């Protein structure tokens, strides 16, 4: 797994205008193919994330043995699947502390938010905040137990 810093640098390169044949929006849509498949059994009303334009399923789990956050996600919209691929790459398998130390605003560094319509950017930001808050709560809980 690459570090968050390395991932952010590669994401910025991938989204930089002129970096690919189709530009940053096409690159974002191509990232939909990078999203790991979500177990269909996890696509329930309980995992349906409200606040996005499209249907989004988000399953967050804590692996207490390894101290990591597990993120599974899917959407019925291709561009959202590309965004979810970024969220999963950014947070899945990271320690509670790493998730807590990586707020959603970090994606502004890659130029991602500027590519999105305001309503999509707001929904994606809410989703990232939710994941970040989950990791921060786990990190705080672990610190209390130590």
What's the distance, Cα to Cα, between the start and end of the chain in Å? 26
70-101 pLDDT, tens digit per residue, is 999 999 999 999 999 999 999 999 999 999 99
Counting every residue written for the chain, the total comes to 146
Which residue, 54, 93, 87, is CA-closest to 73? 87
The number of distinct structural domains making up the chain is 1
pTM of this structure: 0.93
**Domain range spanning residue 46?**
4-145
How far is 59 from 42, CA to CA, in rounded Å?
A: 7
Task: Tell me whether residue 52 is one of the annotated catalytic residues.
Answer: yes
pLDDT in tens, the chain (146 residues): 899 999 999 998 888 876 666 778 888 889 999 999 999 999 999 999 998 778 999 999 999 999 999 999 999 999 999 999 999 999 999 999 999 999 999 988 888 888 888 888 899 999 999 999 999 999 999 888 87
Q: By CB neighbour count within 10 A (0-12 exposed, 13-18 middle, 19+ buried), where does 41 fall?
A: exposed
Annotated active-site residue in 35, 52, 71, 80: 52
CATH number, domain of 109, equals 3.90.1010.10
Backbone φ/ψ region at 83: left (φ over 0), alpha (ψ -120 to 50), beta: alpha
């Amino acid at each position: 797994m690459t570090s968050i810093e390395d991932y952010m640098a590669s994401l910025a390169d991938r989204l930089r205008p002129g970096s690919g044949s189709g530009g940053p929006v096409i690159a974002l849509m191509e990232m939909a193919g990078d999203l790991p498949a979500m177990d269909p059994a996890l696509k329930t009303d309980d995992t349906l994330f409200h606040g996005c334009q499209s249907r989004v399923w988000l399953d967050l789990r804590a692996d207490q043995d390894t101290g990591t956050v597990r993120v599974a996600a899917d959407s019925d919209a291709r561009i959202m699947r590309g965004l979810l691929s970024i969220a999963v790459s950014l947070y899945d398998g990271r320690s509670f502390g790493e998730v807590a130390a990586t707020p959603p605003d970090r994606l502004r560094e890659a130029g991602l938010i500027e590519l999105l319509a305001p309503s999509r950017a707001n929904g994606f930001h809410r989703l990232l905040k939710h994941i970040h808050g989950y990791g921060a709560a786990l990190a705080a809980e672990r610190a209390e137990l130590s």
